[in-house]
Amino acid sequence: MKHLTLVLFLANLFNQHVPTVTVHVEAAVDGFITTRGVHFLLDGNPYYANGFNAYWLMYVASDPSQRPKASAAFRDAASHGLTVARTWAFSDGGYRPLQYAPGSYNEQMFKGLDFVIAEARKYRIKLILSLSNNYDSFGGKKQYVNWARSQGQYLTSDDDFFKNPVVKGYYKNHVTTVLNRYNSFTGIHYKDDPTIMAWELMNEPRCTSDSSGRTIQAWIIEMASHVKSIDRNHLVEAGLEGFYGQSTPEKKKLNPSLDIGTDFIANNLIPAIDFATVHSYPDQWLSSSNDEDQLSFLNNWFNAHIQDAQSVLRKPILFTEFGKSCKDPGFDTSKRDQSFNFVYYKIYSSAKRGGPAGGGLFWQLLSEGMDSFRDGYEIVLSESSSTANIIARQAHKLVKIRRIFMRRHIGN
């Protein structure tokens, strides 16, 4: 506990000596993000992602009258030094879908995604585009399974998404369609657009019916290879939360009490997976624990994954979801700020010593006037000055690290 107290002290100190700034980041959009060893690179120089989630971008931008909300999100993000956005490139069946049925697409929704990519390019923000969902929000694997059932496939579980050849064919077709999409705003095919940093196979894949991890492992191998067969420009990641599995049973004690059929080590060792991802929600996973215990979990969670990315995976790692809900009992803004400081300190400490932590993306950014999208984790930068300042300071620090490594590279 003394160690955790020291880490908290350093995390708070970490953000006390940088003035409030509006950050203009040097991220160019004319180069593809690549990897070398445990680092992301842009134009041959180390690249760090200070980012955000905004799953709603395509959905909102599909209505031309609502596009200013997407533009405002990118504008506000860029002014605070945010360089990467993660968002959905799927909406399967249901209300305002991207995909009405397998292979049948809603052009208006696709134009919304076109607009999102064009706006990200305008504001020099890279995108991570997720291609499907584990959950039934916006359709997800349940919708794919239901589509196959309607064609006579006998499927007993939503987890058949990962095994049934017909369902896998539907998914591959969606991947092919999205990657080959011609952007009506930029005139660039998605697979050729360096605005996109990476493709994510699925948001938080889970297969609870197979705790061995073999089902998810086989699916990731197959689908990552499919993406690479179409697009050799972009990075690919699996969308994992970071839970340890059967390949490292001694590390399963680090997991919250969840057994979801994924394996952080085995899944990310797949050659076609370019970098590891981790999500961090101790307020959900350990909801009955106090703040100190949740921060202790967070400390161990980050330490273990950063170390494994360095020593075992030998790939970069991105913390693609983290946050603190204002719906938590006893919440006040200082608790969220403490959580953000903690996460950012862990990322910065790794980056400063040349480690594998390539950045973090908080959940979630909203523009003003989006009350119906509030889920407790929302950050409206104009309403959250203390948190917004912490975000901008992290951007400032990561830019400084990038400049240091660039000078060393030039000097060599």
What's the start-to-end Cα distance of the chain, in Å? 42
Q: Which of 32, 16, 23, 46 is CA-nearest to residue 404?
A: 46
Q: How many CA atoms lie within 13 A of 299 on its CB side?
A: 17
CA-CA distance, 369 to 383, in Å (whole number)? Answer: 11
Which helix (H) or strand (E) segment holds residue 84: the answer is strand 84-88
Q: Which of 163, 161, 183 is CA-nearest to residue 89?
A: 183
CA-CA distance, 124 to 116, in Å (whole number)? Answer: 12
Residues paired with 129 in a beta bridge? 87, 199
Beta-carbon contacts of residue 283 (< 8 Å; ≥ 6 apart):
294, 324, 325, 328
Beta-carbon contacts of residue 407 (< 8 Å; ≥ 6 apart):
none
Is residue 130 within 8 A of residue 85, CB to CB? The reply is no
CA-CA distance, 292 to 227, in Å (whole number)? Answer: 42
Is residue 93 within 8 A of residue 64, CB to CB? The reply is no
Is residue 25 within 8 A of residue 45, CB to CB? The reply is no
One-letter amino acid of 165? P
Q: Is 204 a catalytic residue?
A: yes
- DSSP E strand stretches across 288-379: 317-322, 357-362
CA-CA distance, 343 to 358, in Å (whole number)? Answer: 12
Is residue 202 within 8 A of residue 134, CB to CB? The reply is yes
CA-CA distance, 403 to 391, in Å (whole number)? Answer: 19
Is residue 89 within 8 A of residue 130, CB to CB? The reply is yes
Q: Which of 119, 200, 237, 321 is catalytic?
A: 321
Q: Which of 119, 200, 204, 241 is catalytic?
A: 204
Q: Which of 310, 316, 307 is CA-nearest to residue 273?
A: 316
Residues taking part in catalysis: 204, 321
